[in-house]
Amino acid sequence: MTKKLFLETLTGNPSERVPFWFMRQAGRYLSEYKAVRAQTNSFLEFCYSPDHASEVTLQPIRRFGMDAAILFADILVIPDALGQKTWFTPGVGPELEPISDRAGYAALSRANLHSHLAPIYETVRRVRADLPAEVALIGFAGAPWTVMTYMIEGAGSRDHGAARTLGYGDPALFGDMLALVVDATADYLIAQIDAGADAVQIFDSWAAALPEPAFTAWVLEPAKEIVARIRAKHAEVPIIGFPRLAGSQIETYAAGTGITAIGLDTGVSTKQAQALQAKLPVQGNLDPYMVVAGGDALHREAERILTSLSGGAHVFNLGHGFVPHTPVAHVAALSEQIKAFRR
Ligand code: CP3
């Protein structure tokens, strides 16, 4: 079997060369992505097109030679598959018919989950078949809390006030919704693995600044439950948790969820990263705006991250996704720098 550097590193066996991939590596900074994207009006339709989604998943691998591809889809396919009206407005972002009461929750259903998401499983199968054997395929889902902020707010929001208010004010309703989303997310990730994903990542983009009891109930416990359900079917598949901006609570998350590896956002300090790395493989954490800036500053910072985490298992990545105006030449230069580095 061909050795996948990325999977070896996540197993805690780092090699001399540091494996890498980038969050949002398939996206609008690539002209070839925009060309395929332009063929479909609706973003969700694009996500549910195995032809288009598999093509854009492979594009960055061809150009930059990452050690892993990440499935092209979106975290909001889960509310969409549960029957919540979900759409993307250009220039605005995701929009959903918000859920604020029990009637809204009662209208959700898992009945069509897998039939609705079947095109995404087909994308996974096609990408796995087309990828070089040494390149890993990462499946993903949004974490329940992050997905629920969109389900309850009806859009992206700055402080997730409606979601927090519902969680504090009606814990029974919030808990029922959370249980449904946990179920759907676990089933979705298991189906991605069944279809050929080599690893999965759980994106908790909005894990920031929650009080400890809420962080435990809404971020940590759901991740732990999803990990347990995946492990019951696929004991060996690496699971990366990414509780973005969790601050000091990243430590309880890393220790308490059973994940294989922890994603580091841009704000995680070297000292904190090294302390985490003593316990489990780490992934991160270059500021995506460093790649926009490019030049010496980028290469010094990439070298600093590579060197400071060279004592253990490290997958090089960003601390959050590429932004659309990232220059392709900077991504290429960064990729070559990472490939040339030796621990
Ligand atoms: O990383 C990858 O390359 C894989 C694909 C991927 C996308 N979204 C594609 C996408 C992944 C992993 C996501 C996750 C996602 N989606 C998150 C969690 C990660 C994070 O960035 O914090 C969140 C919060 C979303 C919700 C979402 N989807 C937002 C806020 C937006 C931006 C809206 C906009 O127009 O700027 C999207 C749309 C989206 N998802 C795009 C891409 C490439 C851009 C839309 C387009 O190309 O038309």
The DSSP output letter for 19 is: P
**Alpha-carbon span 314 to 343, nearest angstrom:** 10
3-state secondary structure of 139: strand
Provide the 3-class DSSP secondary structure of residue 272: helix
- The rounded Å distance from CA 343 to ligand 1 centre is 32
23 Cα–ligand 1 center, Å: 10
- CATH for 5-340 is 3.20.20.210
Alpha-carbon Rg for the chain, nearest whole angstrom, is 19
C-alpha–C-alpha distance, residues 9 and 7, integer Å: 5
Candidates 75, 120, 244: which one to mutate for ligand 1, based on the most atoms within 8 Å of Cβ? 75
For 65-79, how does the pLDDT look when each residue is reduced to its tens digit (9 = 90+)? Answer: 999 999 999 999 999
- Order the strands of the 239-243 sheet from edge to edge: 68-70, 136-142, 199-204, 239-243, 261-263, 282-286, 314-318
Q: Residue 157 contacts by C-beta under 8 Å, 6 or more apart in sequence?
A: 149, 163
**CA 213 to centroid of ligand 1, rounded, Å:** 28
C-alpha 336/C-alpha 89 separation (Å) is: 36
pLDDT computed for residue 209 by the predictor: 84
> How is residue 87 written in tokens?
């759409």
Give me the pLDDT at residue 28, please.
96
Separation CA 29–CA 330 (nearest Å):
11
> Environment class of residue 160 by beta-carbon count within 10 Å: exposed (0-12), middle (13-18) or buried (19+)?
buried
Question: If you measure from the C-alpha of residue 74 to the centroid of ligand 1, how many angstroms do you get, rounded to a whole number?
Answer: 6
Residues facing residue 315 across a β-bridge: 283
Closest alpha carbon to 99 in 164, 52, 153, 48: 153
CA dihedral (100, 80, 318, 235) in degrees, to 10, reads 100
Q: How far apart, in whole angstroms, are the C-alpha atoms of residue 243 and residue 272?
A: 14
Active site residues: 24, 28, 37, 74, 150
Strands 93-96 and 86-89: antiparallel
Number of neighbouring beta carbons within 10 Å of residue 71: 26
Cis bond leading into 41, ω under 30°?
no
Smallest CA separation from ligand 1 atom 8, residue: 74
* Predicted local distance difference test score (pLDDT) of residue 148: 98
Take residue 112 and report the two structure tokens written for it.
């069509």
pTM score, two decimals?
Answer: 0.97
How many residues are present in the chain? 343
φ/ψ of 105, rounded to 5, equals: -65, -45
Q: Which amino acid is at 231?
A: R
Burial 193-220 (b: 16+ CB within 10 A, else e): bebbbbbbbbbbbbbbebeeeebbbbbb
User: Alpha-carbon distance 279 to 238, whole Å?
Assistant: 15
What ranges in the chain are assigned the alpha helix state H? Answer: 5-10, 31-37, 43-47, 50-64, 77-81, 102-106, 113-130, 144-153, 161-169, 171-195, 212-214, 221-233, 250-256, 270-277, 288-293, 295-308, 328-340
For ligand 1, what atom is nearest to the CA of residue 25? 3
Nearest-CA residue for ligand 1 atom 11 is 74
Question: Is 43 close to ligand 1, i.e. is its CB under 6 Å away?
Answer: yes
Q: What residues pair up with 22 in beta bridges, in sequence order?
A: none
Counting as low any pLDDT under 50, the low residues of the chain are none
The answer to whether the beta carbons of residues 262 and 227 sit under 8 Å apart is no
Question: Which pLDDT value is given to residue 260?
Answer: 98
Q: What is the pLDDT, as a whole number, of residue 3?
A: 74
